[in-house]
A and B are shown apart, each in its own frame.
Chain A
Amino acid sequence: MNNRNQVVSSDPSVLVQFANRRSALRALMIPAGAAVLSGCSSVTRLAEEPAPAISDAEVGRMRRDASGVRTFKNYVLYDQDGRKLYFHDDLIRGQIFAAGFGYAKCQGICGRISGNLVEASGMLGGLMGNPVRFYTFSLAQDSPADMREAMEIRGILGKPGWKYLTGSPEAIRYVRCSFGFFDSGKEDTLGTPATHTGMIRFGHHSLDKWSSCPGLGTPTSIASSVGWLLPPDRRPEFARMNRNVPNSARAIPGWTPSKPLLAQV
């Protein structure tokens, strides 16, 4: 059995999971504003979200694979081109990424965060030939068309490595909670568009390195956070040790890197 979430129906046009038959039937009534993609299976506004029976903490509960590296469930998501992607296999596995949350019509913090991310991505360039991915996860079940429009406004449509992603409320909730963006006891606050989280999640999956910083911080702090996911000798110059500080650290003469005591994953 593979690790992918099961779809309820074998019908390829039914792309998401539904809590019950009633919500599945409701989803077939495409509400106004839902996009139908050309050349792709249809994506509808999604079924009513079942009342959360479990906490955000439980939803985002840490999972690790057999070698101990963090792993995630393979919820189905769609990018701005309507491409169907699996969360773990296509977005996480083997990737270096910076991920935030927002929605296409956001008039609040999303624009500024986007600007910071764009500037940070400029500082990072190609990063050792392995481009950093920048993800935005939609908290409002945006359609691909809305997402493309938002990307165009922010000047990131068509940029390699940039993805705007949408999915079912359950899928997006899982992404947000597995990234730790929830406040215990205030369920959904950081996932509600009006109060959504502005934190950025950084990940280097193959090194099992994870960090986070505020999206409203400076582009330098965001770019540095990506750089710090890498071993010190593989970082871009600006993310290396700063020698322009008082009592700056000095090189140990004749130092050679020690071999790790255990094999690294």
Chain B
Amino acid sequence: MLSKTSSSPVVSRRRFLGGTAVAAGSLSVLSKQASAQVTVPVQVNFGSPATTPWVWPLAFARHAVPLPAWEALDPPVIPADHQRYDEFAPVKFYDMSVTEILSRPHPELAESLVMAYQGSVPGVTFINHYGEPVLCRIRNDLPLELNGIGSPDIITHVHNGHHASESDGYPGYWFSPGSFRDHHWPMIYAGGDWREAKGTLWYHDHRMDYTAQNTYRGLAGFFLLFDHLDSGNENDPNHEAFRLPSGVPDGPRWRGCYDIPLIFTDRRYDANGVLVMDVMNMDGHLGDKYLVNGRVQPYFEVERRKYRFRLLDGGPSRFYNFWLSNGMTFHHIANDGNMLPHPIETDHVQLGVSERADIVVDFSQVPDGVNELYLVNREMQIQGAKPEGVLLSYADSNQLIKFIISPERNVVDHSRVPANFRPLPEMDTPVVRTRNIAFDRKNGMWTVNGRIFDNDRADVTFKQGTAEIWNISSSGGWAHPVHIHMEENRILSYNGKPVDSGILHCRKDVFTLYPGDEMKLYIRFRDWTGRYVMHCHNTIHEDHAMMVRIDVVP
């Protein structure tokens, strides 16, 4: 029975069956979450079904398994397709398939049809080492018919991998089911400089105009890099090595592992518990279910020792402000995949989409008798465009993971948090020019310096091996985590103030512009040539062409 009131939309009562939260219900949930009085309009969608938290354990993707030494890729790789292939001849080969699978994020939700790297959501975890070049073949084995969310075309980007353009996942280089593409990951430091080493990267789909939909529908995973310093061995006999908590879980083998990747994604489900996305949304998509490694509000059993958590904001649009529920401090050791020069003791970490933070939490500091602790998000966000800038109380925060702490005190822990990691490289490449890059919006369309993105037009032509100063700015009421491919860069000033300390002083590949912000960046592109992009990593904005094409030329 349809009902109609004079100035509100026609609402079907059928929608209310099944106990889903409706518009009014969603508002009341949100107002319960918000401690502040906020009157901005909220993005209203139907609410996901209620789910019981802490019923499933935290899950982990399996490690990506390279081909055995005696097996070669067939058809063979074409070395001429890859820059400097012979110089960095691969010693490790992967053959990965992208397929659709059924995946259930919680026992009270349904199985949803999603896309998966090597049958896994999140995708299988790559464990790679500097000095051991890799060749990864990615096959598109998706079906030709994939209705609803996403496109069956794919192109895989290792977020901030220092890779040649033809292996970087440029959005326009997507390919359809029935094809494969080879990616050469040479495992070299940018500029040959060990101080440019990276650690926590991730890989995800980057198909033009469908990145938000494809990543939402499953295509994201971790890509971890190790070298002689960040060696992944807390018992490393090399005393130069950091010996941080080590052991990355491999699927069901997680006990005795203390190097824990965590991807945070917020999602929404319909009355039947099936994954749903409002693909018409142009501001940013906010989910009401908080997933970690693909499961809604999992628990994780931990020992009373140090753990390295690699936090990744997997989007599509939400900002996070991570705290522990008892307010305890931890060490922030890496940002955006780069070790900081020194660890920073802090009680919180803020991330925008695609940003990462590595933290070391020492559960031995938790008092006896306390066996539960929660990782929570205290960033208030009720619209996809930006967070509110309000710190939620613990009572109103989003609870993400429940740590169940073993009472056992007699735990062996040889891991360390050294006082020094990697010094920052000098910004010693001479600057050859300054550019102003203004992100703006005209008639609802994202512009960069007044122009609409065009895949067939280079917006920036950058001479390889030089440096430039970029003044990036954003107007309007959105927060934009701006990501630049291929290299990390440095912030010289933020809203006119020099940046000479803190996280913003360190190497970054994501630069979050809050409304009205401007930043001055030191930019370099070394080692490779070809097409790259800079774009907002609110994946919804990205798909509506908030993007810049950068051609690195010899």
Q: Which of B2, B6, B42 contacts A57 (CB 8 A)?
A: B42
Q: Which of A73, A178, A264 contacts B145 (CB 8 A)?
A: A264
* B172:A58 contact, CB within 8 angstroms: no
Cβ-based interface call for B81 (8 A): yes
User: Which of B120-128, B195-203, B452-460 participates in binding chain A?
Assistant: B452-460
Chain A proximity mask over B270-290: 1 for CB below 8 Å, otherwise 0: 100010101111110000000
* B153:A64 contact, CB within 8 angstroms: no
Q: Which residues does chain A contribute within 8 Å of B23, judged by CB atoms?
A: 58, 61
User: Which of A124-132, A143-151, A154-162, A254-262 participates in binding chain B?
Assistant: A254-262
Q: Which of B2, B181, B279, B530 contacts A210 (CB 8 A)?
A: B279
* B141:A261 contact, CB within 8 angstroms: no
* B147:A180 contact, CB within 8 angstroms: no
Cβ-based interface call for A218 (8 A): yes
Identify which of residues 222-265 in chain A touch chain B, using a CB-to-CB cut-off of 8 Å: 225, 228, 231-233, 240-242, 245-253, 255, 257-262, 264-265
Contact count A vs B, C-beta below 8 Å: 233
Q: What CA separation (Å) do A62 and B383 show in the bound complex?
A: 15
* B167:A247 contact, CB within 8 angstroms: yes
User: Which of B393-401, B438-446, B500-508 participates in binding chain A?
Assistant: B438-446
Knowing A68-B270, A199-B544 are in contact, say whether A213-B209 is a contact too (CB < 8 A): yes
* B147:A185 contact, CB within 8 angstroms: no
Q: Which residues does chain B contribute within 8 Å of A215, judged by CB atoms?
A: 445
Cβ-based interface call for B385 (8 A): yes
Cβ-based interface call for B19 (8 A): no
User: Which of A31-39, A48-56, A89-97 participates in binding chain B?
Assistant: A48-56
Q: Which of A57, A180, A231, A252 contacts B41 (CB 8 A)?
A: A57
* A181:B444 contact, CB within 8 angstroms: yes
* A184:B101 contact, CB within 8 angstroms: no
Give, as a whole number of angstroms, the nearest-CB distance from A23 to chain B: 10
Q: Which of A207, A210, A217 contacts B452 (CB 8 A)?
A: A217
Cβ-based interface call for A197 (8 A): yes
Q: Which of B167, B282, B454, B477 contacts A180 (CB 8 A)?
A: B282
User: Which of B7-15, B337-345, B358-366 participates in binding chain A?
Assistant: B7-15
Q: Which residues does chain A contribute within 8 Å of B442, judged by CB atoms?
A: 198
* B143:A260 contact, CB within 8 angstroms: yes
Cβ-based interface call for A19 (8 A): yes
Residue of B nearest to A197 (CB): B444
Cβ-based interface call for A214 (8 A): yes
Cβ-based interface call for A5 (8 A): yes
* B443:A109 contact, CB within 8 angstroms: yes
Cβ-based interface call for B371 (8 A): no
Knowing A1-B1, A228-B153 are in contact, say whether A190-B173 is a contact too (CB < 8 A): no
Q: Which of B6, B147, B176, B279 contacts A19 (CB 8 A)?
A: B6
Cβ-based interface call for A212 (8 A): yes
Q: What CA separation (Å) do A20 and B4 show in the bound complex?
A: 13
* A20:B6 contact, CB within 8 angstroms: yes
Q: What CA separation (Å) do A242 and B42 show in the bound complex?
A: 41
Cβ-based interface call for B431 (8 A): no
* A187:B46 contact, CB within 8 angstroms: no
Q: Which residues does chain B contribute within 8 Å of A61, judged by CB atoms?
A: 9, 23, 44-46
Give, as a whole number of angstroms, the nearest-CB distance from B263 to chain A: 23
Q: Which residues does chain A contribute within 8 Å of B453, judged by CB atoms?
A: 214, 217
Cβ-based interface call for A82 (8 A): no
Cβ-based interface call for A209 (8 A): yes
* B283:A183 contact, CB within 8 angstroms: yes
Knowing A208-B148, A212-B282 are in contact, say whether A185-B179 is a contact too (CB < 8 A): no
Cβ-based interface call for B107 (8 A): no
Knowing A68-B274, A109-B443, A257-B143 are in contact, say whether A213-B166 is a contact too (CB < 8 A): no
Size class of the contact patch on chain A: 35 or more
Q: What CA separation (Å) do A257 and B23 show in the bound complex?
A: 41
Chain B proximity mask over A60-74: 1 for CB below 8 Å, otherwise 0: 111110001110010
Chain B proximity mask over A169-202: 1 for CB below 8 Å, otherwise 0: 0000010001111111111001000011111010
* B176:A241 contact, CB within 8 angstroms: yes
Q: What CA separation (Å) do A265 and B455 show in the bound complex?
A: 32
Give, as a whole number of angstroms, the nearest-CB distance from B515 to chain A: 11
Knowing A184-B385, A241-B179, A247-B167 are in contact, say whether A261-B101 is a contact too (CB < 8 A): yes
* A247:B7 contact, CB within 8 angstroms: no
Q: Which residues does chain B contribute within 8 Å of A73, judged by CB atoms?
A: 9-10
Cβ-based interface call for A221 (8 A): yes
Q: Which residues does chain A contribute within 8 Å of B385, judged by CB atoms?
A: 183-185
Cβ-based interface call for A123 (8 A): no
Q: Which residues does chain B contribute within 8 Å of A50, judged by CB atoms?
A: 6-7
Residue of A nearest to B165 (CB): A246
Q: Which residues does chain A contribute within 8 Å of B276, judged by CB atoms?
A: 62, 64, 68
* A197:B477 contact, CB within 8 angstroms: no
* B172:A242 contact, CB within 8 angstroms: yes
Q: What CA separation (Å) do A248 and B173 show in the bound complex?
A: 8
Cβ-based interface call for A118 (8 A): no
* B444:A199 contact, CB within 8 angstroms: yes
* A252:B167 contact, CB within 8 angstroms: no
* B444:A241 contact, CB within 8 angstroms: no
Give, as a whole number of angstroms, the nearest-CB distance from B529 to chain A: 10
Cβ-based interface call for A220 (8 A): yes
Give, as a whole number of angstroms, the nearest-CB distance from B83 to chain A: 9
Q: Which residues does chain A contribute within 8 Å of B182, judged by CB atoms?
A: 247
Cβ-based interface call for A6 (8 A): yes
Give, as a whole number of angstroms, the nearest-CB distance from A232 to chain B: 4
Chain A proximity mask over B404-446: 1 for CB below 8 Å, otherwise 0: 0000000000000000000000000000000000000011111
Give, as a whole number of angstroms, the nearest-CB distance from A234 to chain B: 8
18 example contacts (A-B, Cβ-Cβ < 8 A) are as follows: A3-B12, A55-B41, A58-B23, A64-B270, A70-B280, A180-B278, A185-B41, A186-B477, A187-B41, A190-B443, A207-B147, A212-B280, A248-B81, A249-B173, A249-B179, A252-B139, A253-B75, A260-B145
The 10 A-B residue pairs whose C-beta atoms are closest, nearest first, are: A180-B280, A249-B175, A247-B166, A55-B41, A197-B444, A232-B176, A198-B443, A246-B166, A214-B445, A249-B179
In addition to A209-B147, A214-B544, 12 A-B residue pairs with Cβ atoms within 8 Å of each other are: A53-B8, A184-B42, A197-B445, A199-B544, A210-B280, A212-B544, A231-B144, A232-B178, A242-B173, A247-B81, A247-B82, A249-B173
